[in-house]
């Protein structure tokens, strides 16, 4: 601003020496949508509101604890046998197939390096899981700027058609509505082995997930056996029919105790299951000591509760890799913490169809390797045939660059569309990309090889663009791509001496 010089004296005029800088945006801030124990705080509803949390303790304090998933015990009619009691085979299964998973999924997220995230509760444990609730949760995220990932672990608890509808809505939200987010998606029935027929879980997933905005999401298979739920978390609250349990355990007593006195003493303890005045915690501890069948049932319940879809844990892997290496590092060949085994053992041949397929809908594998443990062994988006957006890290790095530059460019909206402004914009973006290149996010022996920023009349604009108030900038970047296939050639050499 020019100083008005009218009165004799000394005047000070300050000028900015440096252009604005681009502040790097967040890269791995997932938004989890699902059901929680509490849906209000201090009298205010939390339904369909994005709440920012930074630790699992904060999640627990705000949204409450885990659901008491109830299980039934029924005599086995087929080959699927969970426990044997007094010579008979039984199945242990959840009372309701669609169980609430968000609480344990959040634990898996934090166990794998997650920290900052957003929670959108769409209902309590008393509510049935439904598609419209998840869609409302997605709409609640539209007004939030910080989340960069979208995860809905409980989507796979819906029926098949509604699961695919929610997953399509996730891709639509990320690729069309927001254009700056990435979805992590689970395969429906992903705990099952592939059958390679019309009922094959991967074939049905590829048909159901649709064809739109595939480069804004990645899918992972199979689900995982985790160690999230501990043995002391399983109690009598997890049984739907205590009277039926009492009958089973009394039958076991008659089979394992030959001494009538010991048998009678054990039955006295078992009868407390239906005693209204009994301390069930004490009964639980006693039965866990005296009844092998009860202990086996508890183990079976824990095993089933620990089967979780992988998406939340993968979000934690993204956060860990972004924090330690950068968003440009492919989130693969990384250990999957708190996971004992994948629910399906995938071999080299099995993964071939997952990774490279005619449809292009790549599904990333979670595999167990001897001596290495469970690893995330894939880094492709659902748009696996695209040369531009095949890899997760390439898609997410571009989103990171776009969002960072976009936010910085807002400072120049309504500035003069002249060469001075163009020079400032080019300098600002070039400085940001140079830093990114120095960190290894862009490829090239020099910065000029790694990126190019073009702006100006005759380059990116015409005089008509200036008259229309349009400033056009072209940014070209060479993003680091993973070495997905390493080929080592061995050949014998003629002896020279």
The architecture that CATH gives domain 30-76+95-228+310-393 is 3-Layer(aba) Sandwich (3.40)
For residue 151, the model assigns a pLDDT of 98
Q: What is the dihedral of CA 37, 40, 41, 43, to 10 degrees?
A: -140
DSSP state, residue 174: I
Our CA angle for 83, 85, 88, nearest 5°, is 90
* Range in 9-13, 106-110, 191-195, 428-432 with the lowest mean pLDDT: 9-13
Tell me how far apart the alpha carbons of residues 289 and 269 are, in angstroms, rounded to a whole number.
11
pLDDT bin (cut points 50, 70, 90) of residue 25 is confident
Q: Which of 103-107, 173-177, 274-278 has the lowest mean pLDDT?
A: 274-278
pLDDT average, residue stretch 268-290:
88
pLDDT the model gives residue 469: 95
Residue ranges of domains in the chain = 30-76+95-228+310-393, 231-305, 415-497
Name the band, by pLDDT with cuts 50, 70 and 90, for residue 356. confident
What's the Rg (C-alpha) of the chain?
29
- Nearest-angstrom CA–CA distance, 341 and 48: 34
Residues 293-317: tens digit of each pLDDT: 899 999 999 999 999 999 999 999 9
In the chain, pLDDT over 90 holds for what percent of residues? 75
Indicate whether 1 pLDDT > 70.
no
264 Cβ neighbours under 8 A, 6+ residues apart:
none
Question: What is the per-residue DSSP string for 391-457?
Answer: BHHHHHHHHHHHHHHHHHHGGGTTS--SHHHHHHHHHHHHHHHHHHHHHTSB--SSHHHHEEEEESB
Q: What is the mean pLDDT of the chain?
A: 92
Residue 291, pLDDT above cutoff 90: no
Residue 11 confidence (pLDDT) = 85
Q: What is the pLDDT of residue 181?
A: 96
Confidence (pLDDT) at 97? 84
Q: What is the pLDDT of residues 116-164, one digit of tens each?
A: 999 999 999 999 999 999 999 999 999 999 999 999 999 999 999 999 9
| 381 φ/ψ sector (left φ>0, alpha ψ -120 to 50, else beta) | beta
Nearest-10 Cα torsion for 294, 296, 299, 301 = -70
């Amino acid at each position: 601003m020019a100083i008005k010089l009218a009165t004799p004296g000394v005047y000070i005029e300050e000028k900015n020496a440096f252009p604005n800088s681009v502040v790097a945006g967040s890269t791995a801030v997932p938004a989890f949508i699902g059901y929680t124990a509490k849906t209000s705080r201090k009298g205010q509803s939390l339904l369909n509101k994005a709440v920012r949390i930074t630790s699992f303790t904060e999640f627990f304090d705000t949204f409450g604890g885990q659901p008491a998933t109830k299980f039934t015990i029924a005599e086995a009619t087929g080959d699927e046998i969970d426990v044997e009691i007094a010579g008979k085979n039984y199945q242990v299964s959840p009372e309701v197939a669609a169980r609430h998973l968000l609480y344990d999924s959040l634990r898996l997220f934090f166990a794998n390096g997650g920290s900052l995230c957003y929670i959108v509760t769409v209902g309590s444990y008393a509510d049935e899981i439904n598609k419209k609730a998840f869609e409302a949760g997605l709409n609640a995220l539209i007004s939030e700027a910080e989340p960069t990932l979208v995860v809905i672990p409980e989507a796979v608890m819906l029926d098949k058609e509604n699961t695919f509808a929610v997953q399509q809505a996730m891709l639509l939200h990320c690729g069309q509505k927001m254009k700056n987010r990435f979805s992590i998606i689970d395969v429906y029935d992903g705990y099952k082995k592939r059958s390679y027929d019309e009922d094959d879980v991967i074939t049905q997933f590829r048909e159901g997930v649709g064809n739109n905005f595939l480069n804004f999401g990645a899918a992972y298979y199979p689900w995982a056996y985790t160690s999230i739920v501990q043995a002391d978390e399983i109690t009598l609250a997890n049984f739907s029919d205590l009277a039926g349990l009492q009958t089973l355990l009394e039958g076991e007593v008659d089979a394992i105790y030959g001494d009538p006195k010991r048998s009678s003493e054990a039955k006295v303890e078992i009868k407390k299951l239906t005693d209204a005045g009994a301390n069930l915690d004490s009964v639980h501890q006693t039965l866990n000591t005296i009844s092998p069948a009860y202990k086996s049932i508890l183990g079976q319940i824990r095993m089933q509760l620990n089967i979780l879809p992988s998406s939340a844990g993968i979000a934690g892997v993204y956060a860990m890799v972004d924090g330690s290496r950068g968003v440009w590092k492919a989130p693969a060949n990384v250990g999957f913490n708190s996971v004992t085994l994948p629910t399906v053992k995938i071999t080299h041949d099995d993964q071939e169809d997952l990774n490279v397929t005619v449809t292009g809908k790549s599904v990333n594998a979670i595999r167990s390797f001897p001596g290495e443990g469970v690893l995330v062994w894939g880094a492709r988006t659902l748009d696996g045939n695209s040369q531009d957006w095949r890899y997760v890290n390439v898609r997410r790095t571009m989103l990171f660059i776009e969002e960072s530059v976009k936010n910085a460019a807002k400072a120049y909206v309504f500035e003069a569309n002249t060469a001075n402004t163009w020079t400032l914009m080019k300098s600002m973006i070039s400085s940001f990309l140079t830093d990114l290149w120095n960190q290894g996010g862009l490829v090239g022996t020099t910065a000029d090889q790694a990126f190019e920023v073009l702006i100006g009349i005759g380059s990116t604009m015409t005089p008509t663009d200036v008259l229309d108030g349009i400033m056009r900038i072209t940014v070209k970047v060479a993003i680091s791509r993973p070495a997905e296939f390493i080929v080592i050639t061995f050949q014998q050499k003629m002896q020279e001496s």
